[in-house]
Amino acid sequence: MVYFGRSYYRVAVVTGSNRGIGLEIVRQLATEGVTVVLAARDEKKGIEAASSLHQLGLPSVVFHQLDVQDPVSIESLAKFIKDRFGRLDILVNNAGASGVQVDVDGLKALNIDPQSWLSGKATNMVQSVIIQTYEKGVECLNVNYYGCKRVAEALLPLLELSAAGASIVNVTSLRGELRVSEVLPGIARLLWASLPFLIIILQFLDSAYSGADNVYQISDKYCLHFLALQRVPNEKIRNELADIETLTVEKVDKIVEKFLQDLKDNALEANGWSLMLPSYSVSKVTLNAYTRVLAKKYPNMCINCVHPGFVKTELNWNTGTQSVAEGARGPVMLALLPTGGPTGCYFDQTLMAQF
Residues 6 or more apart whose CB falls under 8 angstroms from that of 188 comprise none
Q: What is the DSSP string of 45-105?
A: HHHHHHHHHHTTT-TTEEEEE--TT-HHHHHHHHHHHHHHTS--SEEEE-----SSEE-HH
Q: Distance of CA 206 to CAs 43, 116, 150, 305, 339, Å?
A: 40, 35, 31, 18, 12
For 242-269, what is the mean pLDDT? 94
Q: Per-residue pLDDT for 222 more than 90?
A: no
**pLDDT on residue 1:** 33
How far apart are the C-alpha atoms of 355 and 285, rounded to whole Å?
9
pLDDT category of residue 313 using cuts at 50, 70 and 90: low
Check if the beta carbon of residue 263 is closer than 8 Å to that of residue 278.
Answer: yes
Rounded to an integer, what distance in angstroms lies between the CA atom of residue 44 and that of residue 274? 37
Asked if the model's pLDDT at residue 254 lies above 60, the reply is yes
Which tens digit of pLDDT belongs to each residue from 90-108? 999 999 898 887 777 776 7
Q: Is 7's pLDDT higher than 90?
A: no
pLDDT at 99: 83
Select the more confidently predicted residue: 154 or 310.
154
Question: Which is nearest to 151 in space by CA: 54, 33, 68?
Answer: 68
What is the per-residue pLDDT for 264? 97
CA distance 274 to 61: 39
Selected residue with higher pLDDT from 149 and 8: 149
pLDDT score of 119 = 61
46 in Cβ contact with 124 (< 8 Å)? no
| Average pLDDT over all residues of the chain | 79
pLDDT of 205 > 60? The answer is: no
Q: How far apart are CA 201 and CA 274, in angstroms?
A: 31
Q: In the prediction, which pLDDT does 161 show?
A: 97
- pLDDT band per the 50, 70, 90 thresholds, residue 9: confident
- Please tell me which residue, 218 or 143, carries the higher pLDDT value: 143
3-state secondary structure of 158: helix
Report phi then psi at 167, rounded to 5.
-125, 135
How many residues can be counted in the chain? 355
Instruction: Give me the pLDDT at residue 215, please.
Output: 36
Q: Is the pLDDT of residue 124 over 50?
A: yes
With beta carbons less than 8 A apart as the criterion, state whether 141 and 279 touch: yes
Q: Residue 173 — pLDDT band, cuts 50, 70, 90?
A: confident
d(CA 296, CA 125): 40
- The HSE-up count of residue 22 (CA atoms within 13 Å, CB side) is 28
Task: Write out pLDDT tens, residues 175-188.
Answer: 434 443 333 333 22
Which pLDDT does position 194 carry in this prediction? 31
Encode pLDDT of 50-77 as tens digits: 999 999 999 999 999 999 999 999 999 9
Average pLDDT over residues 305-324: 68
The confidence score (pLDDT) of residue 8 equals: 61
CA neighbor of 282 nearest in space, from 136, 153, 108: 136
pLDDT band at 318, cuts 50/70/90?
A: low
Residue 197: predicted pLDDT: 32
What DSSP designation does 337 have? P
Residue 186 has what pLDDT?
31
Q: Are strands 346-348 and 11-14 parallel, antiparallel or unpaired?
A: unpaired
Taking the C-alpha atoms of residue 93 and residue 68, their distance in angstroms, rounded to an integer, is 10
**pLDDT at 42 exceeding the cut of 90:** yes
HSE value, Cβ hemisphere, 13 Å, CA-based, for 156 = 15
User: Residue 353: is its pLDDT beyond 80?
Assistant: no
Predicted pLDDT at 102:
76
Structure letter (DSSP) for residue 187: S
Q: Is 346 a catalytic residue?
A: no
CA 80 to each of CA 13, 60, 76, 86, 160: distance values in angstroms, whole numbers, following the listed order = 11, 15, 6, 9, 16
Write down all domains in the chain, each with its CATH number in brackets.
Answer: 11-353 (3.40.50.720)
Whether the pLDDT of residue 280 is over 70: the answer is yes
Tell me the one-letter amino acid at 56: L
Considering only residues 185 and 240, tell me which one the structure prediction assigns the higher pLDDT: 240
The burial class, CB within 10 Å (0-12 / 13-18 / 19+), for 44 is exposed
Question: Which residue out of 145, 146, 209, 280 is catalytically annotated?
Answer: 280
Nearest to 292 by CA among 212, 211, 202: 212
Reported as a single tens digit per residue, the pLDDT across 156-171 is 999 999 987 899 999 9
